[in-house]
Amino acid sequence: MFKEGRFYRKGTKNAKESWLFLCLAFLLFGSIFFVSANLLAQDVTGKRTLAFLIEKDQINTAWTYLRDRYGGKDFFLKKVDPCLRSEFFSELWYEEYFDTPDLLLMGSDNAIRHSIWVDNNGKKPGIKNEAAEILIHDIQGYGLDLARISNFGIISGHGIQFEVAHYNAATSPDEKHSLLGIVKRAVRPIFKDVVKKIGIENPFHLINVINVESKRAGFKIVYKDIPIGRI
């Protein structure tokens, strides 16, 4: 019934496939379902994500199946552990992808994006609903000091998330740049170091190359009030 495709799957060595896959899938199929789960509840950095392309004439059937299996009071995983439950969510997402004019990042299977998401209830997103992320196809292969980087960003699978901040006044040339200017000042030097490690010697060469808007709805899988996965 579902056609499976890879999207930010742990161990995948193709980051350019991720955003191209996302854009093409929306154009060709109109909808995508993602299944994301932490490998261990206590290990929030070890995630595996699968994506299934749903053709337009299958959307209602697929959603009905997911709603009945994951969204009802008879959530089947409760039989495995009564501490497991599901919660419905609906979100709006906006993602800006950055690359050099000659698409150097895409050519090396890496990507950089700024993501904003908010519950689909008309509220404005808070600062916790934004992140700047560097996606690296072989995060172990660039000589990165991951232990040091983890003090400034969140390493998840093959992505590194950095905190975003919006400042009223620019205090450096960085803050006139559409990407560098929104990376929190305290973590910006590490962000720029990682950008250079993956081949962008001058981060000012990064430009916005594509934007993706999407609506995401589904079910969070929760264990003892700790989210461990979502569909």
The CATH number assigned to the domain holding 39 equals 2.40.320
83-87, 119-123, 203-207: range with lowest mean pLDDT: 119-123
Instruction: Outline where the chain has alpha helix (H).
Output: 15-28, 59-66, 104-107, 146-149, 188-197
- Position 29, amino acid: F
Number of domains observed in the structure of the chain: 1
pLDDT band at 199 (very low <50, low <70, confident <90, very high): very high
Q: Which domain holds residue 37?
A: 3-230
Q: Is 127 helix (H, G, I), strand (E, B) or coil?
A: helix
Q: Where are the beta strands (DSSP E) in the chain?
A: 3-6, 32-40, 43-53, 84-99, 111-119, 130-135, 153-156, 159-162, 207-223, 226-230
**pTM for this structure?**
0.71
Q: Quick check: 105 pLDDT over 90? A: yes
Note the pLDDT tens digit of each residue in 2-11.
344 333 333 3
Let me know: does 47 contact 37? Beta carbons within 8 Å.
yes
Note the pLDDT tens digit of each residue in 14-65.
444 444 444 444 444 455 555 554 433 333 345 567 777 788 888 888 888 8
Q: Is 6 helix (H, G, I), strand (E, B) or coil?
A: strand
pLDDT band at 110 (very low <50, low <70, confident <90, very high): very high
pLDDT band at 192 (very low <50, low <70, confident <90, very high): very high
